[in-house]
Amino acid sequence: MIFKTKIQSPPIHFHQSFIVPFQTSDEADRMKDTNSTANRRWAKCLAMLGWLVCLTGCVSPLTNQPWITPTAPPTAGAPANEAFTVSPVTGETLSPPTDPGEINFNLSDLDLGNSTASPTTPAVNHSYNQPTAYAPTEASASGFVGDLATTPSMNAAASQQGTTAPYVARQFPSDPPPNYSPPTVAPPSLATAPPMTGNAPPPNYQPPPASPGYLPPSASPGLGSGLPPATSTPLGPPIYGTADGAPMLGNTGIAEPYAPITPNMGYQPGPTVREADLIINGFPARTGRIMLGGAVNSDAGITGQLTIDERNFDICRWPRSFQDLFSGTAFRGAGQTFRLEAAPGTNFKRYTMQFADPNLFGYKPVSMSISGFLYDRRFNDWDEERLGGRLSFGYRITPDLSISAGITGQRVDMGGYDPDNTIPQLKQVYGKTSLFSGELALVHDTRDSPIQASRGHFFEANFEQAFGDFDYSRFELEFRRYWLIAERADGSGKQTFSFSTRAGYSGDDTPIYENFFAGGYATIRGFEFRGASPVQNLPGQGDIEVGGRFQWLNTLEYIFPITADDAFRGVGFVDFGTVEPTSTLSSKSYRVAPGLGLRVALPMLGPAPLAFDFAYPVAKADTDQVQVFSFYMSMVR
């Protein structure tokens, strides 16, 4: 394949030229450092000639171009044509063209891998940093192939007999020909080169070998030499393409003439990755608290509250001195929870102790909880006291979904009535009875707040199998759903609509104190506490609330802001449902109670708002006890 390049007749100024550089062998590198003294006179002559040319302005555009790569003048006594008819790469003899405007060469004549020649020791001109002569001991000529750039006038002079021409060059025109189209085939090395990661060099990268005895020139390249400025970091060989990293024609090694040439930087080592220890000194926030408060409500009367809560408890960190005990370092640091609560009241007393480990096995999502309790409650028809404990294990499947399994044992002491003059259900449980049960629960909770939720839902399914003095099964299901209707741009002023439902069924051997009851602010408003439950009449004593083994309770509620600071909010609601002795529903005992309420949020009183509700039953049983107003108020500090 023959490439032809047209060179226009002088005088002409070229705006851009392209060079096909070839990497020299070790022999060529050594040419640069030998016999420099013998050619110093030629450097002086060429410098004076260059100044004269610059003054005349004939070649002033060439002195500012980076592509000019001249060679040194030939040595004294050498033939004129021998100075520029020897390839500096292969050492072959080159024949000048007959037509000064055309340079022909054949790609098959480029033998870059042949290093069997025995070139003579060349003379080197350090001013131009180019060899001045090469031994013509290689194969026959193959046309002009060079790595130096020059002007057409110099080529024309070089083609004439007896003309001394210090430059030999191959020159492309500054503008592409009309029928030229850039190649679309990517260099094969791009497709086959392995990907590079990080700052590591490619697998096929080899640093250039250093030539024996080679010393870089101390002087900077002269003006118009065409050499790039000296850099402190040596450039590595190109990964693909031509010798200078430029795009090439196919896989020929010849530079694409009209593609922009960017300098190939080769492999540049990046910053070294270094590791260092990061030490963070943190101090935990306040995790323990002592709370003192009280509550009053329409269901349980007046109740006080004293709570000791530690959320960073460590049961294994016992105090080793009195200082540890009083400085707060004892029993802390493991992320466990310990809680002591005492809530004495007029109608209700509760004392509990609870220990919980949210991550029982390190960072595994397995939790454990151990609790003990003492309940004492006075109902309308009996007094009930429970003493027991519970052990449970939980597993967090997702942040919202969890399962748990536990076992509960308790002793129930029933009193406050005459066992000889009462109904059979109360006579059966009079005194102390033992009740044990195993539980399985599944909880899915996506609410944005457990106290005042506005989005998400809460779902819980619970199965319990009781044994001991009573043997029965129990199943309960609860679901709550919250919808955010509107809110202000800052997130305040939320209007929320919610729906909740609870359903449960218990077996035939369920004791009376484990039955379902309804009535009050926590179940169906508009009724007294447990006033919407099945009753059994006892002559001489009236109706006794016995509850039922089936329940289905529902609530629709809409909450809206009244004031801009959300301190006061209004509530519209409808409570409906029933509790039945069996699973059979009856329209005569189905309860429906719509109403309105007020919520008052005072941060100084605690997170739970004050609740005041007014409800009037529109459907009820004949034995139900109506209570229009119900409330709940608490304060915790």
CA distance 262 to 445: 61
Displacement of CA 85 from its chain's centroid (Å): 65
**Rounded mean pLDDT, 434-451:** 94
DSSP secondary structure string for all residues of 410-436: EEEEEESS-TTSS-HHHHHH-EEEEEE
User: In this model, does residue 632 exceed pLDDT 50?
Assistant: yes
Percent residues over pLDDT 90 in the chain = 38
For position 83, what pLDDT does the model report? 43
| Both structure tokens of 488 | 């202000």
Residues pairing with 350 in the sheet: 343, 375
| Both structure tokens of 252 | 């020929």
For position 340, what pLDDT does the model report? 94
Kindly state the DSSP code that residue 345 receives in the 8-state scheme.
Answer: B
Residues pairing with 499 in the sheet: 481, 556
> Nearest 5°: phi and psi at 531?
-80, 0
User: In this model, does residue 587 exceed pLDDT 60?
Assistant: yes
- Decide if 553 contacts 518 (C-beta within 8 A): yes
Report the length, in residues, of the chain. Answer: 637
Of these ranges, 136-145, 231-240, 461-470, the one predicted with the greatest mean pLDDT is 461-470
CA distance 186 to 259: 13
**Rounded mean pLDDT, 142-170:** 42
CA distance 492 to 562: 12
Q: Give the type of residue at 48.
A: M
CA distance 220 to 229: 7
Kindly state the DSSP code that residue 429 receives in the 8-state scheme.
Answer: H
User: In this model, does residue 285 exceed pLDDT 90?
Assistant: no
User: In this model, does residue 216 exceed pLDDT 70?
Assistant: no
Region of residue 404 (phi > 0: left; psi between -120 and 50: alpha; otherwise: beta): beta
Q: Give the type of residue at 328.
A: G
pTM across the whole model? 0.56
**Rounded mean pLDDT, 79-88:** 48
Q: Which residue has the higher pLDDT, 606 or 479?
A: 479
User: In this model, does residue 104 exceed pLDDT 80?
Assistant: no
pLDDT band at 218 (very low <50, low <70, confident <90, very high): very low
| Both structure tokens of 600 | 């008052």
Cβ contacts of 413 within 8 Å, gap of 6 or more: 384, 385, 386, 387, 431, 432
- Decide if 343 contacts 351 (C-beta within 8 A): yes
> Which residue has 């790569």 as its token pair?
69
For position 14, what pLDDT does the model report? 39
> Which residue has 């009820």 as its token pair?
620
| Both structure tokens of 375 | 């309940």
CA distance 96 to 109: 16
For position 472, what pLDDT does the model report? 95
**Rounded mean pLDDT, 325-344:** 86
Summarised one tens digit per residue, pLDDT across range 521-573 is 889 999 999 999 999 988 888 899 999 999 999 999 999 999 998 999 999 99
* Average pLDDT value for the chain: 73
Region of residue 101 (phi > 0: left; psi between -120 and 50: alpha; otherwise: beta): alpha
Q: Give the type of residue at 264.
A: N
- Decide if 90 contacts 187 (C-beta within 8 A): no
Q: Which residue has the higher pLDDT, 14 or 359?
A: 359
User: In this model, does residue 17 exceed pLDDT 70?
Assistant: no
> Nearest 5°: phi and psi at 113?
-95, 0
**Rounded mean pLDDT, 154-177:** 46
Q: Which residue has the higher pLDDT, 368 or 237?
A: 368
The helix (run of H) or strand (run of E) holding residue 325 is: helix 322-327
CATH 2.60.40.10 fits 515-637, yes or no: no
pLDDT band at 12 (very low <50, low <70, confident <90, very high): very low
Q: Which residue has the higher pLDDT, 4 or 254?
A: 254
Would you give the end-to-end CA distance of the chain in angstroms? 96
| Both structure tokens of 566 | 């959300």
> Which residue has 């708002």 as its token pair?
609
- Decide if 563 contacts 598 (C-beta within 8 A): no
For position 431, what pLDDT does the model report? 93
CA distance 91 to 137: 7
Q: Give the type of residue at 30.
A: R
Q: Which residue has the higher pLDDT, 16 or 386?
A: 386
| Both structure tokens of 107 | 């790609």
CA distance 236 to 486: 66
Q: Give the residue range(s) of CATH 2.40.160.50 domains in the chain.
A: 515-637
Q: Strands, DSSP E only, in 513-580?
A: 535-538, 542-545, 550-561, 568-580
